[in-house]
Amino acid sequence: MMQYLLYLPYITTLVVIHSHYAYPDVVTNHPKLYSFSSQRYYELTDNIEPKFNTIESRIKYYMAKFTTSKYGDMIFGNYSNYMECDRRIDFEEDYLDLYKKLPNKYKKYIKDTNDW
């Protein structure tokens, strides 16, 4: 069980990358994606073909590519929508469109944390 805790930093980083990618108007320039995999960042922003120096850079590139694909939407999509909905509530922006898309579990989290 303890060995799985080593994956937590990567998973949280991928969640942040997906959130920034899904809502680019909130955080511009994808800073977390650039620090995680500059090859994927340049591929998305400037259409530059990736060149790999190490195995680690290749692995991080494919992890970031997976996260910013439709498969990443399946895995991280609801959580990114939940975080964006919560951010919109905090800044008193229109949030109902995202709120309706959320599963009941996330709707309950929002109701519990915002004291309506």
pLDDT tens digits for range 53-100? 999 999 999 999 999 999 999 999 999 999 999 899 999 999 999 999
CA end-to-end span of the chain: 38
Per-residue pLDDT for 39 more than 80?
A: yes
Query: Which pLDDT belongs to residue 7?
Result: 79
pTM across the whole model: 0.82
Q: How many residues does the chain have?
A: 116
Give the integer Cα–Cα distance in Å for 15 and 79: 8
Report whether 43 contacts 104 (CB < 8 A). Answer: no
Q: What is the mean pLDDT of residues 104-110?
A: 92
Query: Which pLDDT belongs to residue 36?
Result: 95
The whole-angstrom distance between residue 17's C-alpha and the CA centroid of its chain comes to: 4
pLDDT top residue among 4 and 18: 18
Query: Which pLDDT belongs to residue 54?
Result: 95
Give the integer Cα–Cα distance in Å for 87 and 70: 23
